[in-house]
Each structure stands twice: as structure tokens, then as C-alpha cells.
Structure 1
Amino acid sequence: MAQDMYDEYLQSYLNYVVVERGLSLNTRTSYQQDLNRFFKFLRHQSPVPKIETIDRLLIMTYLNELSNEGKARNSIIRMVSSMRKLFQYALRQKWLMADPMAQVHPPKKAAYLPAVLTLEEVERLLAVPDVTTNLGIRNRTILEVMYATGLRVSELVNLKLDNLHLDLGLIQTVGKGDKERIIPIGDLAAYWLKKYLKEVRPMLGQVQDESIIFLNGHGHGLTRQGVWKLIKAWVSAAGITKDVSPHTLRHSFATHILENGADLRIVQELLGHSDISTTQIYTHVSDKHLREVYEKSHPRA
């Protein structure tokens, strides 16, 4: 059956992206989610099409369905990218003779200005954890480190003890594409990190992984989803009404240092962006801040 074949196609492709292309688990998961959704659509067709009979019309029908469901433009762009890579692989495997994605063009990327916390909101967020408790000290440390370094949440949860060079005021991390970078860490974040490592980490249950820095109460490493839920709870407790995610702290880090005079190339290095065009989104956020200050401050604005 075609349905069973789709499972085989997906597994073959996912093995390829991990083993031969060396892509991260997060990227593999993203492809898997996108393609599972596409295959679910195909399985609801009557009859269920074989992969070699999928054409541009069927693909456009699927993309229009996503649009009608209210899917964000950038989500559809990602879906098109995932499908394009799958069909390129299918061609090499000779599962089909022509690429149905050849004449499929993604929508233009939506202009996107990320949510950014004000300095006052950052202070309110940092004040939420109860630092008279072990987990409160851990939570304050997580917030301090994320805001001080701009780490992605995946980089934070994978941070290891040998990544720390606190005597030098530096930490190292491995980001997207296995790109390693060295990041300065400020005195306040270093203070909380040292306090957590000395006073709290040894108390968080029986440590299951001696190398991972941030642990839950059972001694296991925190997950990306776990940190996401924690930050949502802290944001609510701080009375912040913006749509805040772990990435918001990264956005705030970049925006605040740009507003205080950092060079865009330096911010690119700190964030680990391979292309400076990715970093330039923060100049738009910073420009917005400048306009707001001007309009409030200039007597004839």
C-alpha cells in the first residue's frame, strides 16, 4: 500500500539527513514533523497517490490548504523547503522520474520583528525566581545566562561543565551547523553560575549526567520544552503580557547591546549567525526604539 510506502520513504530520508548529511536532531525532528503532515494529507486522498504520481497540482492544493487553515507564511515557506529536499532525495533514489517541486515557489518571507523585552521587563523577569530555594537559584541562573549571552535554548540545555571558562569570563558553545563560538559572560551571570554550581547543582538529586550544567530535581538534564514551559510561567508571574519564548531573551540580548553601541559584526559573532543578513533584523528593532525615543523626546516630533 502507498500508505506503508510513505513510512518507508520517510524513514529512508531521515536516516540520510542524519547519517550522510550530519544534521542535528532538532533539524531531523523539524523535517519529520513537516513531512508527516504532508503524508497525512496524501493519505486522505482517494485513491492514495503513489509517490511517482504526485504532481504540482496536488502539491499546490496542499499548500493552499495550509494557507486556508491560517498557517503562518514562514511556516509554509519551511514546509516547501522540507518537501523540496525530500523530492530531491527521491529523484536520486529513483523513486520518481521528475521533480514535482520544480515549478513550486514558496511565498515571500513575511517581514518579522521579534518580540523584545524592555530593560524594566528584563529586571522584573529576573526577580521572579525565589533565590532562597535551590530551584529558585537554578532558575535565576538560567535567566541570567540566557540574557547575558544570547544562547539559544538548545545551546543552554546542552551546555557542559568543560564549556565554562569563568576565570576568563568566557563560555563556549556549539550552535547550528556544529559551529563553535566563544561568548563573553558578564560578572552578574558568572556570579549566579558559580553560586548554582557550588551550592545547588550537587543537591539536585543523584546527578545522572556529570557533564550537563542545568539539571532538574531528579538530576537529569533539562529539555528545550522544559525550559520553554518554565519561561512561560516566569513571564506570567512577572506580569509581562508580550508573547515571550526562550528566543525572546536572545532577541533582547542582541537588541540591547546594539542600542548601546555594539557593532553589527560583533553581534553576528555573538549570536553565531553565518550570514549577517540574519543579524540585520535587530537593526530594524533598534531603529524602532530610536524612533520611539525621538518621538517622546523631541519637542516638535
Structure 2
Amino acid sequence: MQWGVDVVRRSPEAPGSARLELVDGVSLLHPEDAVLDAMLDGWEKQQRGRRLESETIDDRRRIVRRFVDFSGEYPWNWTAAHMDEWSFSLTAELGRARSTIRAYQGAIRQFCELITSPHYRWAEECETRFGTHPVQICHEWNTAAHLEDYEGEAERRPLTREECQALFDYADDRVEEAIRLGRKGALAAYRDATVFKTIYGWGLRCREVSRLDLTDFYRNPKAPELGKYGMMHVRYGKATKGSGPRRRMVASVMPWAVESLEDYLVNLRPRFKHHPNHKAVWLTERGGRLQPREIEARFAAYRDALGLDKELVPHCLRHSHVTHQIEDGVDPKFVQEQVGHRFASTTAIYTGVSTDFMNTMMRNALDQAFTTEELETV
């Protein structure tokens, strides 16, 4: 039957395949560079089809380019020895963190999976053009495995309650000092003091607190005394496997932190120069959104002034939130949901309970054991 239109047939080639990225039978001026570019373009399309974030895709492309420069070879000439040499350089010469090295190796592994898969026909294309073909160079025996839930530096730890209080007091003192001396920066100092209290009060990451907007607070019918700040909507939680940010609702559990945040929003934020429609909670003196690096810089300045450990960073306040909640007897499952951990083991790693808490738990365990023995004797 004649329908008056041509039927469009789907290409049998998978997105990212050699046949879709290279025109068959065309002579290339610089074939090696052209094929490498086509491989990366094909890999990008394949990843976009999996709905990965553009930032993740761009980072992976840069890693492949970096490995090409290091090895001095194109992908169809890579060997496992090249990966061994690069891993050694990243570890011994550049001192990269274990998680960073694992991320680099993972990117190369996934790129090799695409160019060696028969579905994408890159091996066939390379064999035709260069007389050789790519192979997988990342194996279990020459790459770092993800064996731990937490791969941060071992020196990172929660701040003690005394250290938290000292930090908050010092931050408040900087505001009073700026006001007393008539210096600029009192607003910024007050803002940063509130930022640190908010990170601790709700167990947030730097990026999570930086991306808070005015519309991210809600009433909690179970906590009417907290007003409109009973719940916090965290919309930029840590992503997993290249996906978008994970959202979660965080219940407000520290009334003093709610009071501090409300005071900032009602009395201080309106004094910042900003566009009337700006949604950010934390504004800079120029009217922009406060960035994580600025939070980290202010924290480092206060940490050093107090003589605290150099390894402490704003993220340690999140660790402190978890630890102190557990010490106060809050259900670990609730804490896990609050901070957005998928697995209880991650929350456990974040927890660094104090000696007093451990002694209390030990005493409770011993008392229970002795009571059980007495009952059995009777």
C-alpha cells in the first residue's frame, strides 16, 4: 500500500558506534587524531544516552586526554603497562588521593569497554585503519578497588563538642569585633558564622549548604514551635554514578540552630546588596551566591586562628553532627536518613563517639551482663 511518505528505518548501529562517527571510505588528513576525536564524541553520546551529567562526561573526556598525553600513545596502542606507569605516577609523584586514582582508572576502564565492545565496532575500525585494535587495559590486578565506604583522609575526624563551641564562639566574636572597630565585613562574618552553625545543625555538605534557597524551608506539623523552619529541603545532595543531585528532606532537630538561621534571614540577609528576586540564602557582598570554596577558606582561617588540627575542614562539622546525634541517643536509622546516606555502614564510619559515650555504653553492657548472670544463678 502506498502511504505517500517514506518509511524511516532505525539505524542498526548503537549511539556512539564507529559507523555513526566516521564516514565510511573517506580518507582522513590526520587519521589518528580524527579517530580519537570520533571515539570521544561517540563515548559522549553513549553516556548522554544514559542520562549522565554533562560535568561528569566532560571530566571523563579530560581524563582520557590526560592519559593519552601521559602514555604518548593512541587508545588502540594502549597496554596494561601504560596503566601501571600512570597509576605509579599518580601515587608516587603527584600524591593523588586513593579515591581520585580510582576515579581516573574507572574512566579509562569505561572508555576501553566502549572501544573494545563489538557493538560499537571501534576495534574493527582500528584494525582496518591502523592494523591493530584496542584492548581493555584496566583489570582487577592493576587498579584500585573501592573496598571502603569512606575513602577520605584518615586524619579527618569529627570536631569535639568543645571544639565546635570554640569555633562558633570565635565566629561570633569576629562579628562583634568588626562592629566595634567599625570595619567592613561584619555582615559577611555574621553570615559565615551562621553557615557553620547550619552545616552542623543539619549535617550538611558544603555544596548542599551553598545551594540552599529561600524556598527550601517548610513547616513540620510535629514541630510547630519551629515555625517555617521545621524541615529543610536539600536539593543538591551528593550524586551517585554520574546521576543528578539527590534530594532529601531534613528535619530540624537543633532549635538553637533554627533560631540562628532565622535571625540571619530576617535581620541580616536583607542588608546584603542583591537583586530583589535572588533566591540564594547565602549572599556575597557583591550580590552573588556564596560558593563552597569561600566557606572552606573562612573555616580554614578560623581553624588556624584557634590552633585546631590542619586536617579539619567544614565537612568535619557534618561528621560532628552525626557523632553528637548518636551520642545523644538518636536512632541511627533516623540519623542515616537525615544526612542522606544510602547505607548504615557509611553513617557508622562518620561516627566518632567520645570516650564518655563509649564508657557509658560499656557500663550499660556490663550491667546487663551481670543482671543476666544473676538471674541464671537464681
Q: CA RMSD in A?
A: 3.2
Q: For the Cα contact (< 8 Å) 2:196–2:314, is it kept in 1?
A: no
CA contact (8 A) 1:208 1:219 kept: no
Contact 1:215 1:221 in 2 (8 A): yes
Residues 171 and 184 in structure 1, CA contact (< 8 A), matched pair in contact too: yes
1:250 Cα shift?
0.9
State the 4+ residue runs in structure 1 displaced beyond 6 angstroms.
Answer: none
SS of the residue 2:257 aligns to:
helix
1: CA distance between counterparts of 2:85 and 2:284? 45
| CA–CA separation in structure 2 for the residues paired with 1:115 and 1:30 | 29
Identify the residue that residue 45 of structure 1 maps to in structure 2.
none
Aligned partner (choices 184, 196, 199) of residue 251 of structure 2: 184
Within the candidate set 131, 141, 151, 2:175 is matched to: 131
Moved more, 52-61 or 137-146: 52-61
Q: Distance in 1 between matches of 2:157 and 2:61?
A: 28
Equivalent position SS for 1:171: strand
Preserved contact between residue 207 and residue 220 of structure 1 (Cα < 8 Å): no
Q: Deviations over 1:92-121 (max 9, x none)?
A: 654445322245543354776532111111
Deviations 1:40-96 (A, max 9, x none): 313xxxxx3111221212112211222222333333223222322332344465444
Q: Within 5 Å, which residues of 2 pair with 1:1-301?
A: 13=43, 17=47, 19-24=48-53, 27=56, 31=60, 34-42=63-71, 48-69=72-93, 70-91=95-116, 93-96=120-123, 97-102=134-139, 104-108=141-145, 109=147, 113=154, 114-129=156-171, 130-132=174-176, 133-165=186-218, 166-174=227-235, 175-177=237-239, 178-185=245-252, 186-207=254-275, 210-283=278-351, 285-286=352-353, 289-290=354-355, 294=359
Number of corresponding residues? 288
Q: Rate the CA distance shift 1:16–1:237 in 2: closer, same or farther, 3 A.
A: farther
Q: Distance in 2 between matches of 1:263 and 1:292?
A: 15
| Mapped partners of 2:250, 2:316: distance in 1 | 18
Change (3 A) 1:95 1:156: farther
User: Is the CA contact (8 Å cut-off) linking 2:229 and 2:258 kept in structure 1?
Assistant: no
Question: Residue type matched to 2:111 in 1?
Answer: L
Aligned to 1:145, what secondary structure does the other structure show? helix
CA distance in structure 2 between the partners assigned to 1:171 and 1:11 by the alignment: 40
What is the rounded CA distance, in whole Å, between the counterparts of 1:183 and 1:147 in structure 2?
13
- How far did 1:176 drift? 2.4
Cα 1:32–1:260, aligned 2, differ >3 Å: closer, same or farther? farther
Give % identity: 24
The unaligned stretches of length 5 or more in structure 2 are 1-29, 124-133, 177-185, 219-226, 240-244, 364-378
AA matched with 2:104: M
TM-fit CA distance, 1:266? 1.6
Question: Equivalents in 1 of 2:45, 2:200: separation in Å?
Answer: 36
Residues in 2 aligned to 1:62 and 1:15: alpha-carbon distance in whole angstroms = 27
Shift in Å, 1:12: 5.8
Q: Which runs of 5+ in 1 are unaligned?
A: 43-47
Q: Aligned letter for 2:249?
A: I
TM-score, structure 1 normalization: 0.81
